[in-house]
Chain A
Amino acid sequence: MDRSSLPDLVCPAGSLPALKAAVDNGADAVYLGFKNDTNARNFAGLNFDEKSMVEGIRYAHDKGCEILMAINTFPQAGRVDDWRNAVDTAAGFGVDAIILADVGLLDYASKRHPNQRLHLSVQGSATSYEAINFAHREFGVRRAVLPRVLTLAQVEHVIKNTPVEIEVFGFGSLCVMNEGRCWLSSYACGESPNTVGACSPAKYVKWDKQPGQMETRLNGILIDRFADNEPAGYPTLCKGRFEVQGETYYALEEPTSLNVLEILPEIIKIGVKAIKVEGRQRSPAYVTQVTRTLRAALDALTNERERYHVKPNWQAELSKVSEGNQATLGAYNRPWR
């Protein structure tokens, strides 16, 4: 198997140094967003202005790496033009694909920029081939990013029944995975990825250090309490510990990271076209570590697929940057559907 038959490695960038780190460490594509709420990682100081975007696109293209632009939030009432402008700007910059979630925006982009390659975002919440084929038929979508809720067998079933390329997540923090439909953050602070482009916006987060422990509050609501030596997670409601019928525990989900190194050969076998790394909010150091590790694992599959085994240093590198105590295969290997 040569490298061209491997899935693309799609890596995150929240800044120009992160983009360069992804390109330099073997990403086939880098995804990024504008400095505004048209993308789901709208955090203060993160993302690209026009100048850094132009430089980033040039840097990536010079080295044969694609740029995918995430415009993956939902246009808010009265401000639809902000999202349309983002699509126009991205198309004007010559990005290789625009990642969209909103059906209205997909319609706009496909009519206004008929030659622009469009991807269906994970935020579009399409888990069935019927939904994906609809996006293909109506808007010419060429690739869909699957929500992290399907088993490997279900992913294979989707792939067998669609002409659309399928991209799956390969590494990164997990949440409740109700992508594109989650309002938990709004429950606590009135703002969520779908409305402002950020889950648990930082202005609502308070880490309160006390003797022997740290409390995490989201808009004043106590969501977790960590002992001094206990690992912490992102301050989201889904990862909080709550008292339920007299017991305090992770009632929704424990902070966990997805890591597919173990099942990489199976992912390739079923025909996945791209593997995505989560984490545009992370630093260039994270992008470097995760990109080079997954690149090494994928490259190991080019010539010794039968002898592929997960090297301990890959796992060590990935588990170091993981959120939470455990890395899992997520939904890919669960026995129930």
Chain B
Amino acid sequence: MNQGFTIPKFQLPGFVARLGHKLPQWPHAVALTTALNAAVKMKLLPEDSLAAFDGKTFLVQVLDTGGQAAFTYRGGFFRPLWNPVGAPDLAFRANLSAFLQVASRQEDPDTLFFNRELSIEGDTELGLIVKNMLDAIELPQLPKFPLSLPFGQR
């Protein structure tokens, strides 16, 4: 029933995560915070939600790639955390496919949570604010999975 390309549920082989764990993690945090700051600059993220993020620490962990991004929001900017200490205020953990499905609005985070494909730990209310903030963003067009173009799915 989906139009165009759909992101299937998949799990990368175990060696990817074993390798991923050995790689430096800072590029993930830099990439993610850069994207988030761009969204702030474009005024895509509501101010009341951002106010709730001030001083909080976040961790996004992609289980099957072994990649993770730790960051915080302070003084109007998302900033990478180079040496996170202690438990983050909020942690999202899932395989790559689940994150892609949520990012492209193909799947509902609650669905993935019920099915235990997405884990949310820490400050639950903060997690809800993040979820609802992402849901409320008006995207000019739903993000297309880059691979859809070469396959001529559209």
Contacts and interface: CB of A to CB of B under 8 A. Distances in A.
Given A17-B139, A282-B108, A45 B131 contact: yes
A214 B115 CA distance: 13
Contact of A14 (B107, B116, B135): B135
Contact of B111 (A206, A228, A230, A286): A286
Interface stretch (B23-31, B69-77, B117-125, B144-152): B117-125
B127 A202 contact: yes
Give the secondary structure class of A's interface.
Answer: mixed
A207 B115 CA distance: 15
Interface string A157-192: 000000000000000000000000000000000000
Interface string A196-230: 00000111011111000010000000000010111
A292 B3 CA distance: 12
Interface of B: 1, 46, 48-49, 52, 102, 105-111, 113-116, 119-121, 124-125, 127-133, 135-139
Contacts of A46: 128, 132
B136 A207 contact: no
Given A45-B49, A209-B119, A282-B110, A15 B132 contact: yes
Interface string A54-96: 0000000000000000000000000000000000000000000
Give the secondary structure class of B's interface.
Answer: helix
B8 to A, nearest CB: 13
Interface stretch (A104-112, A318-326, A327-335): A318-326
B125 A44 contact: yes
A283 interface: yes
Interface residues of A, number: 44
Contact of A44 (B52, B107, B120): B52
Given A15-B136, A45-B133, A202 B1 contact: no
